Amino acid sequence: MRNRPVAVFDSGIGGLTYLPSAMALLPDTPFVYVADHANFPYGATDPDLLRDRVASLVRRIIDRESPCAVLVACNTASVVALADLRSRFSIPFVGVVPAVKPAASLSRNRRIGVLATTRTVEERYLADLVAQFAGHCSVTTVAAGELVTLVENHLGEPPADAAEAVLAPAVQRLRDAAVDTVVLGCTHFIYLLDELRERFGPSVEVVDSREGVARRLAAVVGSAAPGGVVKAHRFYSTAAGTRGLSRLAARFALADEGIL
Protein backbone atom coordinates (compact mmCIF):
# COMPACT_ATOMS: atom_id res chain seq x y z
CA MET A 1 0.00 0.00 0.00
CA ARG A 2 3.03 2.28 0.26
CA ASN A 3 2.79 5.53 -1.74
CA ARG A 4 -0.70 4.66 -2.97
CA PRO A 5 -3.26 7.27 -1.92
CA VAL A 6 -6.41 6.93 0.09
CA ALA A 7 -9.36 8.01 -2.05
CA VAL A 8 -12.22 9.86 -0.38
CA PHE A 9 -15.48 10.78 -2.09
CA ASP A 10 -18.82 12.39 -1.41
CA SER A 11 -21.52 13.98 -3.53
CA GLY A 12 -19.91 17.34 -2.80
CA ILE A 13 -17.86 19.06 -0.12
CA GLY A 14 -19.34 17.29 2.91
CA GLY A 15 -16.73 14.58 3.16
CA LEU A 16 -13.93 17.15 3.36
CA THR A 17 -14.79 17.49 7.05
CA TYR A 18 -13.43 13.96 7.62
CA LEU A 19 -10.00 14.69 6.18
CA PRO A 20 -8.28 16.47 9.11
CA SER A 21 -8.86 13.55 11.50
CA ALA A 22 -7.82 10.98 8.90
CA MET A 23 -4.73 12.90 7.82
CA ALA A 24 -3.63 13.32 11.43
CA LEU A 25 -3.62 9.54 11.93
CA LEU A 26 -2.06 8.85 8.51
CA PRO A 27 0.49 11.66 8.14
CA ASP A 28 2.60 9.81 5.55
CA THR A 29 -0.31 8.85 3.30
CA PRO A 30 -1.42 10.93 0.30
CA PHE A 31 -5.15 11.63 0.05
CA VAL A 32 -7.26 12.14 -3.06
CA TYR A 33 -10.69 13.72 -2.62
CA VAL A 34 -13.45 13.55 -5.25
CA ALA A 35 -16.56 15.72 -5.06
CA ASP A 36 -19.17 14.05 -7.27
CA HIS A 37 -20.89 17.28 -8.30
CA ALA A 38 -22.17 15.70 -11.51
CA ASN A 39 -24.50 13.56 -9.38
CA PHE A 40 -25.13 15.92 -6.46
CA PRO A 41 -27.10 15.43 -4.27
CA TYR A 42 -27.15 11.76 -3.31
CA GLY A 43 -29.76 12.13 -0.57
CA ALA A 44 -32.93 11.64 -2.62
CA THR A 45 -31.53 9.45 -5.41
CA ASP A 46 -33.15 6.09 -6.15
CA PRO A 47 -31.04 3.41 -4.38
CA ASP A 48 -30.40 1.28 -7.48
CA LEU A 49 -29.40 4.32 -9.50
CA LEU A 50 -27.16 5.58 -6.70
CA ARG A 51 -25.37 2.23 -6.45
CA ASP A 52 -24.65 2.29 -10.18
CA ARG A 53 -23.47 5.90 -10.13
CA VAL A 54 -21.20 5.36 -7.14
CA ALA A 55 -19.72 2.19 -8.64
CA SER A 56 -18.99 4.05 -11.87
CA LEU A 57 -17.29 6.83 -9.93
CA VAL A 58 -15.18 4.40 -7.93
CA ARG A 59 -14.07 2.68 -11.14
CA ARG A 60 -12.87 6.03 -12.50
CA ILE A 61 -11.04 6.78 -9.25
CA ILE A 62 -9.33 3.40 -9.32
CA ASP A 63 -8.32 3.79 -12.96
CA ARG A 64 -6.90 7.28 -12.33
CA GLU A 65 -5.34 6.97 -8.88
CA SER A 66 -4.98 3.26 -7.97
CA PRO A 67 -5.84 3.94 -4.32
CA CYS A 68 -4.95 1.59 -1.48
CA ALA A 69 -8.37 2.14 0.12
CA VAL A 70 -11.53 4.18 -0.39
CA LEU A 71 -13.35 6.18 2.26
CA VAL A 72 -17.01 6.60 1.34
CA ALA A 73 -17.37 9.94 3.12
CA CYS A 74 -21.13 10.16 2.75
CA ASN A 75 -23.73 8.62 5.02
CA THR A 76 -26.24 8.16 2.19
CA ALA A 77 -23.76 6.47 -0.14
CA SER A 78 -22.49 4.30 2.72
CA VAL A 79 -25.87 3.02 3.84
CA VAL A 80 -27.03 2.44 0.23
CA ALA A 81 -23.92 1.36 -1.67
CA LEU A 82 -21.15 0.20 0.66
CA ALA A 83 -21.99 -3.51 0.51
CA ASP A 84 -22.32 -3.32 -3.28
CA LEU A 85 -18.93 -1.61 -3.63
CA ARG A 86 -17.27 -4.29 -1.52
CA SER A 87 -18.76 -6.98 -3.74
CA ARG A 88 -17.60 -5.28 -6.96
CA PHE A 89 -14.05 -4.22 -6.05
CA SER A 90 -11.19 -5.93 -4.25
CA ILE A 91 -9.72 -2.91 -2.44
CA PRO A 92 -10.79 -2.04 1.14
CA PHE A 93 -13.71 0.34 1.71
CA VAL A 94 -14.47 2.28 4.87
CA GLY A 95 -17.93 3.78 5.22
CA VAL A 96 -19.44 6.65 7.15
CA VAL A 97 -22.60 5.77 9.05
CA PRO A 98 -24.59 7.71 11.67
CA ALA A 99 -22.93 7.58 15.09
CA VAL A 100 -25.87 5.82 16.73
CA LYS A 101 -23.72 3.55 18.90
CA PRO A 102 -21.78 6.31 20.69
CA ALA A 103 -24.95 8.39 20.94
CA ALA A 104 -26.71 5.56 22.76
CA SER A 105 -23.83 5.41 25.23
CA LEU A 106 -23.86 9.17 25.79
CA SER A 107 -27.61 9.63 26.17
CA ARG A 108 -28.75 10.11 29.75
CA ASN A 109 -32.51 10.10 29.15
CA ARG A 110 -32.42 7.48 26.38
CA ARG A 111 -33.81 9.89 23.81
CA ILE A 112 -31.72 10.31 20.67
CA GLY A 113 -32.20 12.40 17.55
CA VAL A 114 -30.75 11.65 14.11
CA LEU A 115 -30.50 14.51 11.62
CA ALA A 116 -29.86 13.13 8.12
CA THR A 117 -30.96 13.06 4.48
CA THR A 118 -34.23 11.53 3.32
CA ARG A 119 -32.47 8.46 1.90
CA THR A 120 -30.47 7.80 5.07
CA VAL A 121 -33.58 8.19 7.23
CA GLU A 122 -35.59 5.81 5.04
CA GLU A 123 -32.94 3.11 4.52
CA ARG A 124 -33.20 -0.12 6.48
CA TYR A 125 -29.54 0.27 7.43
CA LEU A 126 -30.35 3.05 9.90
CA ALA A 127 -33.19 1.04 11.42
CA ASP A 128 -30.80 -1.88 11.88
CA LEU A 129 -28.21 0.38 13.55
CA VAL A 130 -30.86 1.59 15.96
CA ALA A 131 -32.05 -1.94 16.70
CA GLN A 132 -28.49 -3.16 17.28
CA PHE A 133 -27.08 -0.31 19.34
CA ALA A 134 -29.97 1.81 20.60
CA GLY A 135 -32.83 -0.60 21.16
CA HIS A 136 -33.20 0.75 24.67
CA CYS A 137 -33.60 4.32 23.39
CA SER A 138 -36.35 6.35 21.77
CA VAL A 139 -34.92 7.55 18.45
CA THR A 140 -36.38 10.47 16.49
CA THR A 141 -35.22 10.89 12.90
CA VAL A 142 -35.45 14.17 11.01
CA ALA A 143 -34.75 14.49 7.28
CA ALA A 144 -33.17 17.83 6.39
CA GLY A 145 -31.92 17.27 2.86
CA GLU A 146 -32.40 20.92 1.93
CA LEU A 147 -29.60 21.72 4.37
CA VAL A 148 -27.20 19.72 2.18
CA THR A 149 -27.89 21.92 -0.85
CA LEU A 150 -27.64 25.07 1.26
CA VAL A 151 -24.24 24.10 2.64
CA GLU A 152 -23.00 22.97 -0.78
CA ASN A 153 -24.12 26.08 -2.62
CA HIS A 154 -22.33 28.30 -0.12
CA LEU A 155 -19.20 26.15 0.22
CA GLY A 156 -19.81 25.40 3.87
CA GLU A 157 -20.69 28.95 4.92
CA PRO A 158 -24.39 29.57 4.25
CA PRO A 159 -25.88 32.96 5.22
CA ALA A 160 -27.22 33.01 8.76
CA ASP A 161 -30.80 33.82 7.73
CA ALA A 162 -30.91 30.99 5.18
CA ALA A 163 -29.47 28.52 7.69
CA GLU A 164 -31.99 29.69 10.27
CA ALA A 165 -34.92 28.95 7.97
CA VAL A 166 -33.79 25.33 7.54
CA LEU A 167 -32.35 24.63 10.97
CA ALA A 168 -35.13 26.09 13.10
CA PRO A 169 -37.88 23.54 12.29
CA ALA A 170 -35.46 20.59 12.45
CA VAL A 171 -34.10 21.69 15.81
CA GLN A 172 -37.60 22.31 17.13
CA ARG A 173 -38.75 18.80 16.19
CA LEU A 174 -35.86 17.29 18.11
CA ARG A 175 -36.45 19.59 21.08
CA ASP A 176 -40.12 18.56 21.10
CA ALA A 177 -38.91 14.95 21.31
CA ALA A 178 -36.83 15.89 24.39
CA VAL A 179 -33.64 14.35 22.99
CA ASP A 180 -30.41 14.87 24.88
CA THR A 181 -28.12 13.56 22.12
CA VAL A 182 -28.24 14.42 18.41
CA VAL A 183 -26.41 12.47 15.70
CA LEU A 184 -25.32 14.35 12.60
CA GLY A 185 -26.09 11.74 9.95
CA CYS A 186 -24.80 13.73 6.99
CA THR A 187 -21.26 14.93 6.42
CA HIS A 188 -22.48 18.32 5.12
CA PHE A 189 -24.10 19.07 8.47
CA ILE A 190 -20.72 19.16 10.21
CA TYR A 191 -20.07 22.55 8.62
CA LEU A 192 -22.86 23.82 10.89
CA LEU A 193 -21.74 21.97 14.01
CA ASP A 194 -21.09 25.14 16.03
CA GLU A 195 -24.45 26.64 15.09
CA LEU A 196 -26.26 23.43 16.00
CA ARG A 197 -24.52 23.16 19.36
CA GLU A 198 -25.43 26.76 20.10
CA ARG A 199 -29.06 26.17 19.20
CA PHE A 200 -29.41 23.01 21.27
CA GLY A 201 -27.50 24.38 24.23
CA PRO A 202 -25.22 22.62 26.72
CA SER A 203 -27.82 20.06 27.77
CA VAL A 204 -27.72 18.34 24.35
CA GLU A 205 -24.71 16.48 22.96
CA VAL A 206 -24.22 16.80 19.18
CA VAL A 207 -22.08 13.96 17.83
CA ASP A 208 -20.66 12.77 14.52
CA SER A 209 -18.47 9.89 13.36
CA ARG A 210 -15.26 11.65 12.30
CA GLU A 211 -12.94 10.32 14.98
CA GLY A 212 -14.25 6.76 14.80
CA VAL A 213 -14.03 6.70 11.02
CA ALA A 214 -10.47 8.04 11.09
CA ARG A 215 -9.42 5.31 13.51
CA ARG A 216 -11.03 2.64 11.34
CA LEU A 217 -9.37 4.00 8.21
CA ALA A 218 -5.97 4.08 9.94
CA ALA A 219 -6.41 0.47 11.01
CA VAL A 220 -7.21 -0.54 7.44
CA VAL A 221 -4.42 1.41 5.76
CA GLY A 222 -1.72 1.16 8.44
CA SER A 223 0.54 3.94 9.66
CA ALA A 224 3.94 2.79 8.44
CA ALA A 225 5.90 5.54 6.76
CA PRO A 226 6.03 4.99 2.99
CA GLY A 227 9.24 4.81 1.03
CA GLY A 228 10.17 7.68 -1.24
CA VAL A 229 8.42 11.02 -1.63
CA VAL A 230 4.73 11.25 -0.75
CA LYS A 231 2.59 12.81 -3.45
CA ALA A 232 0.64 15.95 -2.66
CA HIS A 233 -2.95 15.63 -1.50
CA ARG A 234 -5.30 16.24 -4.44
CA PHE A 235 -8.87 17.39 -5.11
CA TYR A 236 -11.15 16.60 -8.05
CA SER A 237 -14.71 17.45 -8.98
CA THR A 238 -16.79 15.53 -11.51
CA ALA A 239 -18.38 18.68 -12.97
CA ALA A 240 -17.18 22.10 -14.02
CA GLY A 241 -18.56 25.44 -12.95
CA THR A 242 -18.46 25.57 -9.15
CA ARG A 243 -16.61 28.72 -8.10
CA GLY A 244 -14.42 28.86 -5.04
CA LEU A 245 -13.56 25.16 -4.95
CA SER A 246 -9.82 25.77 -5.25
CA ARG A 247 -9.84 27.99 -2.16
CA LEU A 248 -11.91 25.48 -0.22
CA ALA A 249 -9.65 22.61 -1.28
CA ALA A 250 -6.62 24.58 -0.12
CA ARG A 251 -8.18 24.95 3.33
CA PHE A 252 -7.98 21.16 3.58
CA ALA A 253 -4.42 21.00 2.22
CA LEU A 254 -5.57 19.74 -1.20
CA ALA A 255 -4.32 20.85 -4.60
CA ASP A 256 -7.13 21.38 -7.11
CA GLU A 257 -6.61 18.97 -10.02
CA GLY A 258 -9.76 19.94 -11.93
CA ILE A 259 -12.25 17.45 -13.39
CA LEU A 260 -12.09 13.68 -12.90
pLDDT tens digit sequence for 239-248: 987 788 999 9
**Cα–Cα distance measured from residue 188 to residue 9, given in angstroms and rounded to the nearest whole number:** 13
What local confidence, expressed as pLDDT, does residue 241 receive? 76
Q: Which residues pair with 111 in a beta bridge?
A: 138
What local confidence, expressed as pLDDT, does residue 181 receive? 98
Question: Where are any strands of DSSP class E within 11-151?
Answer: 31-35, 69-72, 93-95, 111-116, 138-143
What local confidence, expressed as pLDDT, does residue 242 receive? 77
Q: Which domains does the chain have, with CATH numbers?
A: 6-96+211-259 (3.40.50.1860), 100-208 (3.40.50.1860)
CA dihedral 177, 179, 182, 185 (to 10 degrees): -40
Respond yes or no: is residue 137 known to be catalytic.
no
What local confidence, expressed as pLDDT, does residue 222 receive? 84
What local confidence, expressed as pLDDT, does residue 224 receive? 46
Residue 229, pLDDT > 90, answer no
The length of the chain, given as a count of residues? 260
Respond yes or no: is residue 186 known to be catalytic.
yes
Mean pLDDT of the chain: 93
Summarised one tens digit per residue, pLDDT across range 51-80 is 999 999 999 999 999 999 999 999 999 999
What local confidence, expressed as pLDDT, does residue 61 receive? 98
Query: Pick the catalytic residue: 70, 74, 99, 196?
Result: 74
Structure pTM? 0.93
Query: Pick the catalytic residue: 186, 218, 248, 249?
Result: 186
What local confidence, expressed as pLDDT, does residue 168 receive? 94
Residue 225, pLDDT > 80, answer no
